Amino acid sequence: MWKIYHFIKISLSAAFAGIICCIGPVILFQFGLMSGVYAISFADFFYADDGSIGFGAVILRILGLLIVAYGVVSFNKKENCSLNSEKQKRLNKILFGIIVLIFSISIFLTLDEFSSIYFDKYIVPQQQIELDIQ
Q: What are phi and psi of 31, to 5 degrees?
A: -85, 5
pTM reported for the whole predicted model:
0.73
Q: Determine the pLDDT at residue 58.
A: 86
Q: Taken in order 68, 70, 75, 80, is the CA torsion positive or negative?
A: positive
Structural domain spans, the chain: 2-130
Query: Cα(79)–Cα(83) distance, rounded to whole angstroms?
Result: 9
pLDDT 10s digits, 33-79: 888 888 888 777 787 777 778 888 888 888 888 888 888 888 778 76
Q: What percent of the chain has pLDDT over 90?
A: 1
The widest CA-to-CA distance across the chain, in whole angstroms, is 67
Q: Determine the pLDDT at residue 95.
A: 87
How does the average pLDDT of the chain come out, rounded?
A: 82
